[in-house]
With several copies, the nearest count.
Chain A
Amino acid sequence: MFKKVLIANRGEIAVRILRACREIGIDTVAVFSEADRQALHVRLADEAYLLGPAQSRDSYLRMDKLLDIARKSGADAIHPGYGFLAEREDFAEACTERGITFIGPKASSIAAMGDKMTARETVRKAGIPVVPGTEDIGNLRDEDLLGIARQIGFPLLIKATAGGGGKGMREVSNLDEMPELLKSARREAESSFGDGNVYLEKLVEGARHIEMQVLADEQGNVIHLNERECSIQRRHQKLVEESPSSFLDEELRRKMGEVAVKAAQAVDYVNAGTIEFLVDKERNFFFLEMNTRLQVEHPVTEMVTGVDIVKEQIRIARGRPLSYRQEDIKINGAAIECRINAEDPFNNFIPSTGRITHSLLPTGPGVRIDTGVYPGFEITPFYDPMISKLIVWGETRAQAILRMRRALEEYRIVGVRTNIPFHQMLMDSHRFMAGQYDTRFVEERFAIADESDPAMMEIAAVLATLAAHQQAQRSAQLVQRNERDTSNWKWVGRWERMHR
């Protein structure tokens, strides 16, 4: 049974895993790039080792260095988190070869589900419905894909075979624009996964993205922890997740849960995984893909089921049976997660970098924050722009929405721009409140409101004027002081007093 876990990741998920280890009493080894020396996961870990330069390919994607650090530090298990090497079967394989427990599924399950085309075929054979699309396996050339596209019909999606997280995904509305989009999808897939291979899938209109969390142990027990509703997306990136989904009834939930368990069994799955489904307006559901790792949005499931998914992952990896049977899993209340990103919602959601000079976290009842940053930390352009995950729990979905509004209003982040205003407007939107949305809602039917409340505009004007006035007065004082030719020493003293 392993005693020391190397966490092959960074940011909030590294901190999340570290916390689970600490609460179980397992030592933690953090790794960091040169840009992350002061990151929270380094500060909180028992041990921490430098991987290399900031670029992921020189640090967090370096299997050789990770395995070397595991050896050096005596870590006997590795948790990959999500992203980076989490879904690389060669990494899982390499860990196993060296006698290091990989906290995740077997390499063969990763391989079976990692190649999205193979995965579609595998589950289809197990009798699970899949979205119509490419049915071949292997590297398809653009000419082939253009032919298949005509058969599937438009609109359709280009997806990276090695994909995940919306990277290398493109929507195509007609044949003409397809060659150019194939090129850019392949380029993005190549840069994200080192694999430019893509496949096609029919775009199901008005569909919702709903996924089922599964847990499976080495004894062959497989259970599901119900669903997460992830339809609030922008550019195929999830922004808000909920559990339960207001779109499912008990019957559909049970059916999808059963299918999810079957899909996991089809690849002999062990550990935590997620089956993503598209659910159309008529409540038909189709297998999309399986994520063979911990998901960003796992906390909403934790908040309504009480199950600590990361602790359960560790338990499973230690060879123990699941702590829960299917009938132990109940949905208690409702949870919502907002991903707080460093990006500017008033300017096309362009990522924002810089130092977080100040922040005030919303706290109090029913609020959870998972983050890897703190005031003084710098958001760099090297990694994804997520600052934190804000998760709330309420006795009902309505109460969770009201609590999320309250939490968003309290949240202050100074130094970078954030998408908090976007989330605020979303929580105020009637369609969101009514649960009436699909995966296109944000891009097609939701806009950052343009008209301002005149009373608020006046307050904003007063605030700007007072701040400008204060600044003008301060610079006037500075000039006066300088003219008095105060000695440097006095100056420093005064400056220190001013900034105390």
Chain B
Amino acid sequence: MKYVTTIEGKEFTVEILDEKHIRVNELVLEMDFMAVSGQPVYSLLIDGKSYEAYVYPEEKDWQVLLRGRQYQAQVEDERKKRLKTAGGLSAEGGEFHLKAPMPGLVVAIPVNEGQVIQKGQVLVILESMKMQNELKAPRDGTVHRIRVKPGESVEQRQPLLNIL
């Protein structure tokens, strides 16, 4: 199996040769990969080096927490990716759904529907764990639809608003 894995815009071609060998960017490496104690904590020995990481899927990506850093990886079957690229499909853009990262109380929504917003701008203030948490825009855009009101209690992952 051959995969193309993208982290921070950089592509890595990883081919699984057999249980103990992979090819990364044309280099064959000996490796040993296993989950530890039935958890998404993986021990990887690769050419003698020992790594341990917490690897788990989130939405369509894979999150890797390795030595104090968090990486967001897109793993794609190389064949499918080739087809997709050939067809001119874009994986970027589209609507962004702001969801509540935790249950809490909506304290304020300092934006309005239709408002043009910038990356980093505060969209919702949510009170949880006795703290006021500012939920910010991950990119520039326009506030499309606000689905909650100040004073409303929300559940974890409940949609709060959309950005176009």
Contact = CB atoms under 8 A, between A and B. Distances in A.
Interface of A: 29-30, 37-38, 42-49, 72-73, 167, 184, 187-188, 191-192, 235, 344, 346-348, 350-353, 357-358, 374-377, 381-385, 408-409, 412, 414, 420-421, 424-425, 452, 454, 456-471, 499
A352 B104 CA distance: 11
B132 A463 contact: no
Given A351-B102, A353-B102, A466 B42 contact: yes
Contacts of B49: 46-47
Contact of A188 (B24, B52, B132, B134): B132
B14 A462 contact: yes
Contacts of B156: 353
Contacts of A464: 5, 7, 55, 62, 64, 71, 73, 75
Given A42-B50, A48-B50, A184-B132, A471 B57 contact: yes
Given A350-B101, A421-B68, 7 more contacts: A44-B50, A351-B129, A353-B103, A375-B37, A457-B10, A461-B12, A462-B24
A466 B42 CA distance: 10
Interface string B67-84: 111110101000000000
A421 B50 contact: no
A459 B135 CA distance: 31
B80 to A, nearest CB: 12
A425 B67 CA distance: 10
Interface in B28-65: 31-46, 48-57, 62, 64-65
Contacts of A456: 66-67, 69
Contacts of B128: 351, 353, 381
A188 B43 CA distance: 37
A412 B54 contact: yes
A187 B8 CA distance: 40
A468 B75 contact: yes
Count chain B CB atoms within 10 A of each CB in A29, A49, A374, A452 and give the residue with the most. Answer: A452
A260 B127 CA distance: 36
Interface string B116-145: 000000000001111111111000000000
Nearest to A345: B70
B22 A462 contact: yes
A493 B69 CA distance: 33
A462 B35 CA distance: 14
Nearest to B75: A468
Contacts of B44: 459, 462-463, 466
A463 B53 contact: yes
Nearest to A351: B129
A20 B52 CA distance: 19
Contacts of B1: 469
Nearest to B122: A348
B135 A467 contact: no
Chain B, interface size category, equals 35 or more
Contacts of B40: 414, 467
A461 B7 contact: yes
B5 A461 contact: yes
A218 B145 CA distance: 63
Nearest to B108: A184
Given A192-B130, A462-B14, A421 B70 contact: yes
9 nearest CB pairs, A to B:
A376-B37, A464-B73, A424-B68, A461-B12, A460-B71, A468-B75, A464-B62, A465-B14, A358-B39
B132 to A, nearest CB: 6
Nearest to A471: B57
12 contacts: A30-B50, A38-B43, A43-B52, A46-B50, A49-B48, A350-B101, A350-B102, A424-B68, A459-B51, A460-B64, A467-B40, A469-B3
B22 A37 contact: no
Nearest to B43: A43
B42 A463 contact: yes
Contacts of A188: 132
Given A38-B36, A375-B37, A467-B42, A48 B66 contact: no
B70 A346 contact: yes
B50 A468 contact: no
A49 B40 CA distance: 23
A188 B129 CA distance: 12
A351 B56 CA distance: 19
Given A184-B132, A421-B68, A467 B62 contact: yes
Nearest to A458: B12
A41 to B, nearest CB: 10
B121 to A, nearest CB: 12
B68 A381 contact: no
A478 to B, nearest CB: 16
Given A47-B50, A352-B102, A465-B75, A458 B45 contact: no
A384 B37 contact: no
Contact of B129 (A48, A72, A385): A385
Nearest to A344: B101
A414 B39 contact: yes
B12 to A, nearest CB: 4
A420 B68 CA distance: 7
Contacts of B56: 467
Contacts of A44: 50, 52
